Copies of this chain bind each other. A is one copy, B any other.
Amino acid sequence: MRTIAIDAMGGENAPEAIVQAVLQAKTELKETKFILFGDQAKIKKLVGSDTDQIEIVGTTEVINDEDEPVKAIRTKKDSSLVVAAQYVKQGKADALLSLGNSGSILASGIFIIGRIKGIARPGFMPTLPVKNSDDGFNMIDVGANAKTKPEYILNWAKMAAYYAEKVRGIRNPRVALLNNGSESDKGDDVHQEAYQLLLDSELNFIGNIEGNELLDGKADVVATDGFTGNAVLKNIEGTSSVLIHLLKDNLLNSGFLVKIGALLIKNALKGLVSKFDVDKYGGAVLLGLDAPVVKTHGRSDQRAVYFTIKQVDKILKENIIDQFRAEFATDK
């Protein structure tokens, strides 16, 4: 039996979307138990009589976006996130899922659940869309760390490659390093050294990738420092959203015939938007912790949370944390 601890109070649509997603997922995941943390009365009402595989743990506090993460997890001891993380730490749950803010999830992960031996810093890893395939690619780190060392990048790449293979089913995933040029001597010291570490590793390292190539599907895993990764991830979101906004704007402010045209292409547009709907790829995994910790967007709806639950379940099923423990313990 796998047990997932779910912070039911994080995000804009909590707890409704989260509880609905659990109810949807549990009919498929018969081997999995869900512990929901949050407002006991509200959650109980949403769950109704369908209580199989579900446990509710009442908590009285919620960590908000305004809270300073490290302080919040130390002072809001009875928050849904902190109690859920404690359950994982104590072995009462195997994985943590939250829609809360990244900083607090990161702090809970590091200070409550703890790191895998041999991993100095965990990295946030989303799965992002690519142009001509439904596979997408994993990018790590997208912001758990502002400062990065070359060996962090190597370890993130190793974990992400293993994830891509086991969870996403990509055989021998192609690993690239985000850099400012294709040549091996590109980048600052950190990226030059990371390049050499990746080259000397067992990974299927295909060299550097540049910012304009990310969505082309050239790599299954893109390793990057958390500062650049954060800027680039947010920029993909921002640029996509501005373009789609401008397109809609252009269509709406045009003449009658164009509006007819817009109606006719509506579905094609929806296809495009869904391609860039990061939600369907599940959440961002915080790799390097002693249990799977997955964060999805605060604005996630039932469908997005449902996909993320399936993702967490798959991570547990593939037992990737045990693999990391073995890999990095012998590494040192």
> Which residues of A line the B interface, CB within 8 A?
131, 143, 146-147, 178, 180, 186-189, 191, 210-216, 224, 226-228, 230-247, 250-251, 254, 257-258, 260-265, 267-269, 271-272, 275-276
Contacts and interface: CB of A to CB of B under 8 A. Distances in A.
Contacts of A187: 146, 227
Contact of A265 (B214, B226, B241, B265): B265
Contacts of A250: 268-269, 271-272
Contacts of A246: 131, 272, 275
A260 B187 CA distance: 47
B143 A180 contact: yes
Contacts of A257: 264
Contacts of A210: 230-231, 234
User: How often does this chain occur in the complex, in copies?
Assistant: 2
B275 A265 contact: no
Given A212-B238, A239-B239, 10 more contacts: A147-B189, A211-B235, A215-B239, A232-B235, A247-B269, A250-B272, A258-B264, A261-B261, A262-B265, A264-B264
A232 B211 contact: yes
Contact of A227 (B143, B180, B262): B180
A261 B258 CA distance: 8
4 smallest A-B Cβ distances: which pairs?
A261-B264, A211-B234, A212-B238, A211-B235
Given A211-B232, A212-B234, A262-B261, A243 B241 contact: no
A274 to B, nearest CB: 10
Contacts of A251: 265, 268
A180 B146 contact: yes
Contacts of A180: 143, 146, 226-227, 230-231
A244 to B, nearest CB: 8
8 contacts: A147-B188, A211-B234, A214-B235, A235-B235, A247-B269, A261-B263, A261-B268, A262-B268
Given A242-B131, A254-B265, A211 B230 contact: yes
A46 B180 CA distance: 37
Given A227-B187, A261-B264, A243 B240 contact: yes
Given A146-B180, A250-B271, A238 B262 contact: no
Nearest to A236: B239
A267 B272 contact: no
A208 to B, nearest CB: 11
B262 A233 contact: no
Q: Name, among A233, A264, A271, the residue most crowded by chain B CB atoms within 10 Å (CB to CB).
A: A264
A276 B243 contact: yes
Contact of A188 (B146, B189, B236): B146
Contacts of A227: 180, 187-188, 191, 228
Contacts of A239: 214-215, 235-236, 239-240, 243
Nearest to A212: B238
A230 B231 CA distance: 11
A102 to B, nearest CB: 10
A83 B301 CA distance: 61
Among A235, A237, A260, A263, max chain B CB count under 10 A is at A235
